[in-house]
Chains A and B, each alone.
Chain A
Amino acid sequence: MIRVLLVDDHGIIRDALYYLLSAQGDIDIIGTAVDGQDAVEQVRLDCPDVIVMDIAMPRMDGLQATREICRSCPSTRVVMLTIYDTREHIEQALNAGAQGYVLKDAAGRELVEAVRTLHAGGKYFSKKISDML
């Protein structure tokens, strides 16, 4: 089972992600966090395999949280799930330590695969992002 932490400040997104991912037989949602800070604190107790991380969040954004988590839990892999599609955001995410970048508009089709790819040790970018890169 792939142990996954969901981080998003929007409840409906967290719920939707929860149902989407937990419906898959191989994914275990071990927790959800409402922002970066929350995520960092939860990761201190238990390092998930993969974190699905939003970027724009209050208190601490996803980029900052990713940097800290990559330091504290090197085994944890982070896939950014965001609405932003600019190069800067992508570069920032990669620099922070993210291994995947999925746009929210394609989340339904791509996120499950992204989680699985990352858990398998690979990197995943939305098709749109790959085209841009």
Chain B
Amino acid sequence: METEHKLDAEIPPAHTQPKQFEARNEFVLTHSGDMSERIRNFDWSHTPLGPMETWSRDLLARVLGLAATGRLNSGSEESFPHRSGQYETLLNKAPLGVYLVDADMRIRVVNPIAKAVFGDIPDLIGRDFNEVIHRLWKKEYADEVVQLFRHTLETGEPVESPVRSEYRIDRNATEYYEWRLERIDLPDGQYGVACYFRDVSAQVQVQARIAESEERYRGIVNQSVGAIVEADPSGHFTMVNDRFCEMTGYSREELLSLGMLTLTHPEDLVRSRKQLEQLMAGGAAYEIEKRYIRRDGSVIWVHKSASALRGENGTLQSLIAVLIDITHSKQTEAALQQLNLHLENLVQERTSELQSAIQSLREEIVGRIRVEKELNFNRDRLRVLSRRLVEVQEQERRALARELHDRVGQGMTAVNLNLNILRDQLDAETLARVGKRLEDSISLLEETIPAVRNLMSNLRPALLDEYGLVTALGTHLKDFSSRYGIPVVFESSATPVPRLESSIEITLLRIAQEALFNIVKHAQASEVRLDLTWLGSTVSLSVQDNGVGMDLTRPDAHTGSHGLTIMRERAEAVGGTLKVASEPGRGTTIEVHIPAPSVMQQAAVTGAGK
């Protein structure tokens, strides 16, 4: 622009460092002259004060000189009178504290910022700098400052002070300043010391807070249970916390030279990379469970939450990930799965064991049922056979009895009759000769026929068929009593026992006969009692003696007695039961119960059936 001209060119350097001055010529004033605006726009806050801008100091030094000698607004500055107002503006609006101390160490110029720093001290201009400074600072610091001013004044060496904190005794507060002292030539030919300073308390405090905050952040990050990492947009670690180092076994330095996916287990690499690339390409934050290979080669499981930090325009600034070691929970999970599997196996084993147990039980039951059926079948068959046997036996006996009656008995009777006839027809001489023998023969027959009759009766009591059980029993008992001399009491139930099925009648009679026979053989009884009862559909017989009895607990008590076995078999053959009760010395009782409808009842049933 044509209207521009270098300020530097117009204002001759008042300083001894023209080189520096020339090197920094960015400061440009326009003709329209809004210099203060430009100064304000210049970003001081980002520029360390150390190499404080030469241009501004130089310019300010000249302005300070003018101000110190009272020529700033007097219009007496010939070289650029039209700009004197602007110089004042420059001084007053400079973002620096600026003041000037003259060779007599009196304050000559103070710009508004500096004035504010000097605080409540009135009438600063012309005051003794030493006195003023000692009102602000503690003596040690104030002395040091004054000494530095004197040094610069005497030697012309500038002094740069780094930021330092000092305690303001007047304000009872710590303030932070950075400042620079320079000797300048005043228009009146004297030296002065210009102090440019900046109150950086706010900055320092902010920095302190930032530092503190960063420290806290670092603390949080490092103490975090989770590992926290940050990576640049290319995926290289830029920050890893302690936990991540512990987790991976690598040092921070090693990690910072690695890429995010370097540690990922090969098997998890493909999906990890896919996720990361999606995130980099603008995708949403994601979570992933994957494995890392640690420095020592061991494998860990991590849960990783990754997200991206993006600038305002959406450009990727960094990648941040938080990782939690889930190896233990994975192991636990695996252990649980293992345990589950084990349990399932156990359950399955147990189930199949149970099933096979149930199966074998079932088979056993089936087997038992079959055996039981067979047993029942055999028992039934046995009963049928026994019954049949009894029947056959009875038939045989009946047939035998009939033979005895019809042939032997009748034949002997006929012979007996014939011998009698012969005897009657013999003459006296013949009778004398053979009469004795004939008589003996007749007598023999007369003895033999009753024997045959008894045999016949035992084989098949004619009474039983003709008169029924009660009659047959009664006759037998009388015979028994008279034969063996044992009295028998016979009682039949109040309800007359009807005619029963022939096989049942003969069974009961046979059992009674057998029981009585046993009594004679073993019991040594003095009395026998026999009861026959019929209760509608069951006939019961009991034979009781007062003999020596027997010990039924002896294993051979039942089987040992052939008689008992025969009686029981007979009872069971007709569907009945037989019980024996006995004790040594207390006699024996035999009880038989047989289901026995009367013949009449049977006929009725049969008739109704037709």
- A residues contacting B by CB (< 8 A) are 10, 12-13, 15-17, 19-20, 23, 56, 83-89, 103-109, 111
**Which of A10, A85, A107 is B453 in contact with, Cβ under 8 Å?**
A85
10 A-B residue pairs with CB within 8 Å: A13-B413, A20-B420, A20-B424, A23-B424, A23-B425, A86-B463, A104-B410, A105-B447, A108-B416, A111-B417
- Residue contact B421 to A19, C-beta cutoff 8 Å: yes
- Residue contact A56 to B445, C-beta cutoff 8 Å: no
- Residue contact B453 to A105, C-beta cutoff 8 Å: yes
Q: Give the residues in chain A near B418, CB-CB below 8 Å.
A: 16, 19
Q: Give the residues in chain A near B448, CB-CB below 8 Å.
A: 105
- Residue contact A108 to B414, C-beta cutoff 8 Å: no
Q: Is B340 an interface residue (CB 8 A)?
A: no
- Distance in angstroms from A114 CB to nearest chain B CB is 13
Q: Give the residues in chain B near A23, CB-CB below 8 Å.
A: 421, 424-425
A126 to B463, CA, bound (A): 20
A13 to B416, CA, bound (A): 10
- Residue contact B446 to A105, C-beta cutoff 8 Å: yes
Q: Give the residues in chain B near A83, CB-CB below 8 Å.
A: 405, 409, 413, 449, 453, 456
- Distance in angstroms from A50 CB to nearest chain B CB is 17
- Distance in angstroms from B466 CB to nearest chain A CB is 8
Q: Would you list which residues of chain B between 423 and 453 have a CB under 8 Å from chain A?
A: 424-425, 442, 445-450, 453
- Central interface residue in B406, B417, B446, by most chain A CB within 10 Å: B417
- Residue contact B449 to A20, C-beta cutoff 8 Å: no
Q: Is B159 an interface residue (CB 8 A)?
A: no
Q: Give the residues in chain A near B471, CB-CB below 8 Å.
A: 88
Which residue on A lies nearest to B454, using beta carbons?
Answer: A85
Q: Give the residues in chain A near B449, CB-CB below 8 Å.
A: 83, 103-105
Q: Is B219 an interface residue (CB 8 A)?
A: no
Q: Give the residues in chain A near B447, CB-CB below 8 Å.
A: 105
- Residue contact B450 to A16, C-beta cutoff 8 Å: no
Q: Would you list which residues of chain B between 455 and 498 have a CB under 8 Å from chain A?
A: 456, 462-463, 466-467, 471, 475, 478
- Residue contact B463 to A16, C-beta cutoff 8 Å: no
How many chain B residues sit at the interface, stated as a range, is: 20 to 34
| B interface SS class | helix
Q: Is B148 an interface residue (CB 8 A)?
A: no
- Residue contact A20 to B417, C-beta cutoff 8 Å: yes
Q: Is B580 an interface residue (CB 8 A)?
A: no
**Which of A17, A56, A108 is B462 in contact with, Cβ under 8 Å?**
A56
- Residue contact B420 to A84, C-beta cutoff 8 Å: no
- B residues contacting A by CB (< 8 A) are 405-406, 409-414, 416-421, 424-425, 442, 445-450, 453, 456, 462-463, 466-467, 471, 475, 478
- Central interface residue in B411, B445, B453, by most chain A CB within 10 Å: B453
A56 to B450, CA, bound (A): 16
Which residue on A lies nearest to B422, using beta carbons?
Answer: A19
- Residue contact B467 to A107, C-beta cutoff 8 Å: no
- Residue contact B417 to A107, C-beta cutoff 8 Å: yes
A12 to B418, CA, bound (A): 10
- Distance in angstroms from B544 CB to nearest chain A CB is 25
- Residue contact A107 to B421, C-beta cutoff 8 Å: no
Q: Give the residues in chain A near B453, CB-CB below 8 Å.
A: 83-85, 105
- Residue contact B420 to A12, C-beta cutoff 8 Å: no
A89 to B453, CA, bound (A): 14
Q: Give the residues in chain B near A105, CB-CB below 8 Å.
A: 412-413, 416, 445-450, 453
For the complex of A and B, list the 9 residue pairs with the smallest distance between their C-beta atoms, beginning with the closest. Answer: A108-B420, A105-B449, A16-B417, A12-B414, A104-B413, A10-B410, A16-B414, A19-B421, A20-B421
Q: Give the residues in chain B near A111, CB-CB below 8 Å.
A: 417
- Central interface residue in B409, B412, B413, B419, by most chain A CB within 10 Å: B413
Q: Give the residues in chain B near A56, CB-CB below 8 Å.
A: 405, 462
- Central interface residue in B405, B406, B420, B447, by most chain A CB within 10 Å: B420
- Distance in angstroms from B440 CB to nearest chain A CB is 13
A85 to B454, CA, bound (A): 10
- Residue contact A16 to B406, C-beta cutoff 8 Å: no
Q: Give the residues in chain B near A88, CB-CB below 8 Å.
A: 463, 466-467, 471, 475
A27 to B425, CA, bound (A): 16
Q: Give the residues in chain A near B424, CB-CB below 8 Å.
A: 20, 23
Q: Give the residues in chain A near B412, CB-CB below 8 Å.
A: 105
Q: Give the residues in chain B near A85, CB-CB below 8 Å.
A: 450, 453
Which residue on A lies nearest to B402, using beta carbons?
Answer: A56
Which residue on A lies nearest to B462, using beta carbons?
Answer: A84
Given contacts A19-B418, A84-B462, A86-B475, contact A106 B410 (CB under 8 A): no
- Distance in angstroms from A106 CB to nearest chain B CB is 6
Q: Give the residues in chain B near A107, CB-CB below 8 Å.
A: 413, 416-417, 420
